[in-house]
Amino acid sequence: MKITLDRIAINPLQWIATDDGWIDPALAPSLDDQLRFISEAGIRAVHSAVPAGMTSGDYAACLKDHGLAAAPGYIAVLLSDDPAQNLIIEERIRKISSEHAELDVPTVFLAMGMDKEAARVRRPGVGYDFDADRLNRARDLLASAAETVRSFGITPALHPHVGTWVETDQETRFVLDSVDSGVLAFGPDMGHLAWAGADPAQLIRDYADRVAGVHVKDYQQAVLDQAKAEEWDYRRTVRAGIWAEPGQGSNDLDGVLAALPANYDGWLVMEVDRGAQATPEDSVRLCAEWAAGIAV
């Protein structure tokens, strides 16, 4: 696998991490300040997220002003029996897909959503309360969402996520094996998969022809081991410092990336859900250093 710096992006979650182990977009600096710092750090692309009240065109112009490109963003969907809630979800899928098309970003990560009181947020990473019928419903929802995304000319990539109904190796494989590859690609997160006990490198090898993007995420094994032994919830595990900047933790990032096909031309998107450094800026700088170190 050879990848240039132009294909390594950041999702700057460091700025919006909350003290209770969650995220709050209201904490972020202004878009200009974020993009200026990311660019000055040496990163060349950023996870696409058009702010409310801004058009895709204005967002693209802002990225261009800072010398940055748009990289794959993220769509989260929730299982719901509420027609009004389902309509909101459908509108969000269409909005984000349309924005990606307007930004000329070919891929979007597609995941099940989560909330603070969800069962698997309370018991994360162990496939808690597995239910085959629920998994079938989640698969059907993801397949339907993927069809909608495809209608905009964008490739949706399944993104398993701790705390959701698709988090484990078994659940990931079930969705990929039961949804046509022409509908749903694969967008693994090497940190979330490892937290859930999966081998991200093996999953990438097994579904190599479907990998459209990768979330690069490092973690601290000692924190993960203690969290599982003591049955910590998601937020306590995050507060305890499970996440690390790329290359600063326990994840075998080189090994996972080596599993990608030699001709891989998708994106790597760095994420540190909660920075392990004194400031978000220090965290972003370390991300930039890691990216520069692996780029060719």
Beta pairing class for 218-219 and 243-244 = antiparallel
**Structure confidence by residue, pLDDT tens digits, 29-61:** 999 999 999 999 999 999 999 999 999 999 999
Residue 126's domain comprises: 5-294
Query: What are the start-end ranges of the E strands in 89-211?
Result: 107-112, 155-158, 185-186
Contacts (Cβ under 8 Å, ≥6 apart) of 206: 173
Q: What is the pLDDT of residue 296?
A: 83
CATH number at residue 23: 3.20.20.150
What's the rounded mean pLDDT across residues 276-285? 97
Reported in sequence order, the residue ranges of 146-293 that DSSP labels E, i.e. its strands, are 155-158, 185-186, 213-216, 218-219, 243-244, 267-271
Residues 6+ apart with CB under 8 A from 147: 183
Q: Report pLDDT digits (tens) over 192-224.
A: 999 999 999 999 999 999 999 999 999 999 999
- Sign for the CA dihedral angle at 264, 45, 158, 23 comes to positive
CA–CA separation, 115 and 118 (whole Å)? 5
CA dist., res. 55 & res. 188, Å (int): 29
CA atoms within 13 A on the CB side of 46: 25
Give tens-digit pLDDT for 98-154: 999 999 999 999 999 999 999 999 999 999 999 999 999 999 999 999 999 999 999
Domains held by the chain: number: 1
Average pLDDT over residues 80-88: 94
> Is residue 1's pLDDT more than 80?
no
Q: What distance in Å separates the CA atoms of residue 276 and residue 239, rounded to the nearest whole number? A: 10
Q: Which two tokens stand for residue 87?
A: 């309509």
